Chain A
Amino acid sequence: AQSVTQLGSHVSVSEGALVLLRCNYSSSVPPYLFWYVQYPNQGLQLLLKYTTGATLVKGINGFEAEFKKSETSFHLTKPSAHMSDAAEYFCAVSGGGYSTLTFGKGTMLLVSP
């Protein structure tokens, strides 16, 4: 079984500041890890994913995340926030194969001018 914990339901940053959204996971098998973004009144869109190989993965819009097995973490970062980054971000875990995605509760990113 898999589970995801996202620390902080809301994160506020200023435009140009570092974005850090935290995600910790639990999985009984080697995990596949994902970050999805949801803009208001839209469906979820994949930002980036880790399956195997390089532990630092880069996604769209300048986001990246690092898989740290020892810490069971997959935190999402972006060096410089932009107003258009304001959205809700979901971390998700899968056991691979045809197993399903389990989502965290989400973190709302607020970006102020």
Chain B
Amino acid sequence: EAGVAQSPRYKIIEKRQSVAFWCNPISGHATLYWYQQILGQGPKLLIQFQNNGVVDDSQLPKDRFSAERLKGVDSTLKIQPAKLEDSAVYLCASASGQFANTGELFFGEGSRLTVL
């Protein structure tokens, strides 16, 4: 079974530029998450989708971050304009409906963003 795919793995941009990350979850997984992991910290949830609807985006900085999950499969996370403090690893995770209530998430390898 293929795992969660993310791209790009690495991205370097200058502040005020924009960037987009893509995630393809495990086939059949209805729930998709984007987490931000700053160096030295644990992952912090940015947004949670259930199919193509948003369940929780309370910690998403909506003035600069946006995310969508068209057709309930792939998802894109965008940052515009980027700030220095956005330097982090952006992790995508997915869970099937029957496991969502036990919190067993399957993570991708992450996209590492460096903002100069």
Residues of A within 8 A of B40 (CB): 9, 105-106
Determine which of B45, B100, B104, B110 lies in contact with A98 in the assembled complex, contact meaning CB atoms within 8 Å. Answer: B100
Residues of B within 8 A of A14 (CB): none
* Bound complex: CA A97 to CA B107 (Å): 19
In contact, A43 and B45 (Cβ under 8 angstroms): no
* Bound complex: CA A100 to CA B95 (Å): 11
Residues of B within 8 A of A97 (CB): 100-101
B-side interface residues, number (CB < 8 Å): 25
Binds A, one of B48-56, B61-69, B75-83: B48-56
Q: Across the A-B interface, how many residue pairs have beta carbons closer than 8 Å?
A: 63
- In the complex, whether A61 has a CB less than 8 A from a CB of chain B is no
Restricting to A80-103, which residues have a CB under 8 Å from any CB of B? 90, 92, 94, 96-103
Determine which of B44, B45, B91, B101 lies in contact with A44 in the assembled complex, contact meaning CB atoms within 8 Å. Answer: B91
In contact, B102 and A103 (Cβ under 8 angstroms): no
Residues of B within 8 A of A (CB): 4, 31, 33, 40-45, 48, 50, 55-56, 91, 93, 100-105, 107-110
Interface residues on A, range: 20 to 34
- In the complex, whether A17 has a CB less than 8 A from a CB of chain B is no
Determine which of B50, B55, B100, B103 lies in contact with A34 in the assembled complex, contact meaning CB atoms within 8 Å. Answer: B103
In contact, A44 and B107 (Cβ under 8 angstroms): yes
- In the complex, whether A56 has a CB less than 8 A from a CB of chain B is no
